[in-house]
Amino acid sequence: MLNTYYADLHVHIGRSRSGKPVKITGAKSLILSAILDMASAVKGIDLLGIIDCHVPEVIQELEEMLESGVMAEHEEGGLWYEKVCLLPGSEIEIYDGNCKGPIHVLVFFPTLEKMKQFSFYMAGRMKNITLSSQRIYESAHNLQRKTKELGGLFIPAHVFTPHKSLYGKGVNASLSEVFLPDLIDAIELGLSSDTSMAFAVEELRSYPFLSNSDAHSLEKIGREYQTIRMEKPTFLEFKQALKEEQGRRITANYGLNPRLGKYYETTCAKCSEIIDEEKGTVCKQCGSSSKIRGVKNRINELGKCALQQSDHKERPPYIHQVPLEFIPALGPKTLQKLRDHFGTDMAILHEVEEKDLMEAAPQTIVHHILRAREGKLSFQSGGGGKYGKVASGKSSR
């Protein structure tokens, strides 16, 4: 029987079990055991991609969890912990001779043994295997081939963000400038774009789109996610869903309205003022001509010069979900009360009826949650590394 599962496939480890940095910009509380508990018990995530599993100390901790029986490896791939299945993954920076700038990619493997082999491979091509998102001194093509040799999945990460992404810095117009298109399994959109925006880039239309949190703290887990129709949350089922085999498929993407993302608008690199590029590229606030290109403008540019392809398959809906932390007036105490009453954030955001929410939260907050479900909140756009904001009491445009 096929069921619907929640998946967030881009979560960082901030510190190893011994306290050593893994993702330097990640929170110290982002240790493996805490991530698993938060995803399973609090956030309600069923399929979890942890993308720093190449780190030797993380591999050792996973091995110990498997040996102790706290975690079990599924025959179809993935490591099961309580109610969540972990996909061992890695985020890697590519900057070979074909790249204009650095590009981040995600890879996932079915077993811990495959991840160990991949970690050993990277250790000979990377300066520091103990850290996240490090540069690999290897061509993108060879990295793709190695990923496939080990039975893995290859996914360009947050492809439109201004820094360290495929279209933000990496290429002029086409992913084929750097990658072998047939060895890409999916495209991760990132926080400042959605399906309708990415669909303007014609060469992307043949790939499934993923919306993931890129969590750098525990609360950010599940900030963006997708629902996937599968028999069970395993590596094999996820791989089949990406190919839409035997009824498996992504059924919906849930993410921030792009205007809430940190890089939606073009901003002045000096003073962070939003720049309307249709009216000129010089900042009216400070006169600087240096800017951080917004995702909106970059996609508009790519939509005019991208490659032509014929695949116009129907897409899952992209639902502009507002995470609970963005809901106006919802503080930590009320959030905890809601979680105590209803279990997980996924239940609060999607399933609990209005009358039941009213038992645990003030009417104003319940009103905002319901409006978020319906896509009726309005937003102040973000840009230049600053998130947008939810405006209370008004309908979105």
- Which pLDDT tens digit goes with each residue over 206-225? 999 999 999 999 999 999 99
Separation of alpha carbons 346 and 328, rounded Å: 18
pLDDT at 274 over 90: no
Top-confidence range, 36-45, 191-200, 277-286: 36-45
Name the CATH code of domain 3-259+308-318 (choices 3.20.20.140, 3.40.50.960, 3.50.50.60, 1.25.40.10). 3.20.20.140
CA distances in angstroms from 260 to 207, 323, 384, listed in the order given: 25, 11, 12
Instruction: Calculate mean pLDDT across residues 101-130.
Output: 98
pLDDT at 13 over 80: yes
For 279-284, the CB contacts below 8 A with 24+ separation are none
Lowest-confidence segment of 24-28, 154-158, 222-226, 371-375 by average pLDDT: 371-375
Residue 17 Ramachandran class (φ > 0 left, ψ -120 to 50 alpha, else beta): alpha
Predicted local confidence at residue 309, as pLDDT: 42
pLDDT at 394 over 50: no
- Token digits for 111? 């077993």
CA 66 to chain CA centroid, Å, is: 26
Which run of H or E residues covers position 47?
Answer: strand 47-50
Report the candidate in 389, 251, 249, 242 with the shortest Cα–Cα distance to residue 319.
251
**What's the whole-number average pLDDT of the chain?**
90
Length of the chain: 397
Would you place residue 308 in the very low, low, confident or very high pLDDT band (cuts 50, 70, 90)?
A: very low
pLDDT at 142 over 70: yes
Top-confidence range, 18-32, 183-197, 264-278: 18-32
Report the candidate in 9, 116, 10 with the shortest Cα–Cα distance to residue 59.
116
Q: Are 273 and 267 in contact (CB under 8 A)?
A: yes
Range(s) within the chain of domains with CATH label 3.20.20.140: 3-259+308-318
Nearby residues of 217 by Cβ (< 8 Å), 6 or more positions away: 14, 26, 27, 29, 30
Q: Are 103 and 66 in contact (CB under 8 A)?
A: no
Instruction: Calculate mean pLDDT across residues 53-59.
Output: 98
Would you place residue 313 in the very low, low, confident or very high pLDDT band (cuts 50, 70, 90)?
A: low
Predicted local confidence at residue 122, as pLDDT: 98
88 three-state secondary structure = strand
Helices marked H in the chain: 32-37, 56-68, 112-123, 140-149, 195-198, 235-243, 295-305, 332-342, 345-350, 354-357, 363-374
Lowest-confidence segment of 114-123, 185-194, 284-293, 317-326 by average pLDDT: 284-293
- Which pLDDT tens digit goes with each residue over 157-203? 999 988 899 999 899 999 999 999 999 999 999 877 899 889 989 99
Residue with the larger pLDDT of the pair 210 and 279: 210
C-alpha angle 55-163-161 in degrees, rounded to nearest 5 = 105
